[in-house]
Chains A and B, each alone.
Chain A
Amino acid sequence: MAEFLSLHDAVARYVEDGATVAMEGFTHLIPVAAGHEVIRQGRRDLTLIRMTPDLVYDQMIGAGCAKKVIFSWGGNPGVGSLHRLRDAVEKGWPHKVEILEHSHAAMACAFEAGAAGLPLAVLRGYVGSELPSVNDQIKFIECPFTGERLAAVPSVRPDVSIVHAQKADRAGNVLVEGIVGVQKEAVLAARQSIVTVEEIVDDLTTQPDYHPNACIIPGWAVSAIAVAEKGSYPSYAHGYYPRDNRFYKEWDAIARDRERFKAWLEENVYHAGGQS
């Protein structure tokens, strides 16, 4: 049963140094506020899993939280590089970060397999790609029925997954709307999960826009719920606020320079937010 905690307390309880953490949200509903809380609490040696690291992991990597990053597309969408990720990989700043890279199809399947409780995901993937030569977690197996050669990757089973959603109700049920990405899979694949939400409503099922096929994660499948208004910004929450594409463009210049990045972090993370 989901417990209602402050963002500070949820992160303090469930995100430990050295943990394997998946913070999902495919461009939409990225749990940025939670990422900042992890930075503020000074977590270290995390294995960070995310299909598209985006600005949130760029910031966490630059702040020194990451030991390893598992991803499938590590850019600033439509803008260019994630400079903090690149600086860590190319120059080892603030320290060397290990990377393990997949394709989107493989990671999506691996999250789904994790939710399904399977040890591996099977897909028709990586044909002719050289990614298997640099990622020992990509193997090939033979279909026992047809003999077809198929790719296999281990399922994603994070210690804790963190996602952001539009709303939760008093019972802890969570509504995810719009681009739903792999959020549900991430929550179900993890040992523990934190969901940050824009708001709490009394009962999701009596809301005027409730629909029997809505993407709802039941409260009993979630560990903790924390309210984080505008918790995805500069990503967005469908129905609440738009993606700040201008900030995504501005981030390029901020992240390019170590000093400018540190100043940004100081002002916007260490000395901001953080409800306790």
Chain B
Amino acid sequence: MRLEYSSSEMMSVTAARALENGMTCFVGIGLPSEAANLARLTHAPDVVLIYESGTLQTKPDVLPLSIGDGELCESALTTVSVPEMFRYWLQGGKIDVGFLGTAQIDRYCNLNTTLIGDYHDPKVRLPGGGGAPEIATNAGEVFITLKHSKRAFVKDVDFVTTLGFGRDGKGRDGVPNIGRGPTRVITDLCVMKPDPETKELVVVSLHPNVTREEVIEATGWEIRFADVLETTPEPSARELEVLRELKARTERKHTGE
């Protein structure tokens, strides 16, 4: 039987599959949180989810709207202060993977969540850095997930809030005690990984029924494709069921209160 699913569901399932059972993951709010909890509810029951509000090893039944919803604390193994979270657990090297979203990303995986336009005369003021600048450098590696569009995927970000590989791809070279940085970017069209040498993003896998042209059209630079371009495996019926139930529960909770 052919499964029906949306491109957003394809993105969430693919992002969830990036997490391995037993990993410790510092989770960003929004799409990363959806993917990380889907992973926990499917193939990775022992994934350790940590949110910057101090909630350590949390197992929320519904997705939090904010990074500090009560649900996160009530279902956590323990809740620590925010300084302890950033100093001991993140900076102390206890996090395998940071899972982030972003407003803008460029070819070297630098993230911009600060503003569009000039800093002192912004066209659009975005929320700012939050936990991302240190998650991206202190976690072992970084996964990034966001929807693919020309507005989001730009050749050079307007502002480097959070380091990918710097404006020249060499931003991590020779820096001591720094994580590997972004290792994959998961969108609703494809999966990208940084080139091992240049660190420029390369499409390694297209989602089913997505064409190269669609990716080229939604990317703000001349995007490269891997020599061996794979097709991302489809979601399973179980993954879709769990994801839909999770989102329905979340919707009921957030509108019902």
A interface residues, Cβ below 8 angstroms from B: 26-28, 51-52, 71-75, 77-79, 81-82, 85-86, 89-90, 101-106, 108-109, 111-112, 123-131, 134, 148, 178-182, 184-185, 236, 238, 242-246, 248-249
Known: A179-B55, A179-B72. 6 other contacts (CB 8 A): A27-B53, A28-B53, A78-B30, A129-B129, A148-B177, A179-B53
Compute how far the CA of A126 lies from the CA of B86 in the bound complex, rounded to whole angstroms: 13
Question: What residue in chain B is nearest A86 (Cβ atoms)?
Answer: B125
Q: Mark B90-101, 1 if CB is under 8 A from A, else 0.
A: 110000000000
- Between A and B, 15 residue pairs with Cβ closer than 8 Å are A52-B130, A72-B129, A72-B130, A81-B125, A85-B125, A103-B131, A111-B83, A112-B87, A123-B86, A124-B91, A125-B91, A127-B171, A180-B81, A238-B74, A249-B254
Q: Which residues of B contact A (CB under 8 A)?
A: 29-30, 52-55, 64-70, 72-74, 79-83, 85-87, 90-91, 110, 114, 119, 122-134, 137-138, 159-163, 166, 171-172, 175-178, 253-255, 257
Query: B257–A104 contact, CB under 8 A?
Result: no
Q: Which residue of A lies closest to B72 (CB)?
A: A179
Measured CA separation A17–B211 after assembly (Å): 60
Given contacts A86-B125, A124-B137, A124-B138, contact A130 B159 (CB under 8 A): yes
Do A245 and B70 touch (CB < 8 A)? no
Chain A residue nearest in CB terms to B63? A78
Q: With A28-B73, A128-B163, A238-B70 in contact, do A180 and B79 touch (Cβ < 8 Å)?
A: yes
Residue among A73, A103, A129, A182 with most chain B CB within 10 A: A129
Query: Within the assembled complex, what's the spacing in Å between the Cα atoms of A249 and B255?
Result: 9
What is the bound-complex CA distance between A137 and B134, given in angstroms? 17
Secondary structure dominating the interface of B = loop
Contact between A104 and B129, CB atoms less than 8 A apart:
yes
- Cβ B134 vs Cβ A27 within 8 A: no
B129 & A90 in contact (Cβ 8 Å cutoff): no
Q: Quick one: closest B residue to A110, CB to CB?
A: B83
- Please tell me if the beta carbons of A238 and B73 are within 8 angstroms of each other in the complex: yes
- The docked-state distance in angstroms from the alpha carbon of A74 to that of B176 is 31
Distance in Å from the Cβ of B202 to the closest Cβ of chain A? 21
**Beta-carbon contact of B70 and A28 below 8 Å:** yes
Contact of B66 among A72, A78, A127 (CB under 8 A): A78
Q: Is the CB of A26 within 8 A of B54?
A: yes
**CB <8 Å contact, A103 and B130:** yes
Could you tell me the distance between the alpha carbons of A178 and B76 in the complex, rounded to whole angstroms?
10
| A130 to B115 Cα, complex, angstroms | 12
- Select one of A90, A101, A109, A246 contacting B128, CB under 8 A: A101
Identify which of B54, B138, B161 contacts A130 (C-beta below 8 A). Answer: B161
Q: Enumerate the 5 nearest inter-chain pairs by beta-carbon distance, A residue then B residue, closest first.
A: A27-B68, A128-B163, A75-B127, A77-B66, A73-B130
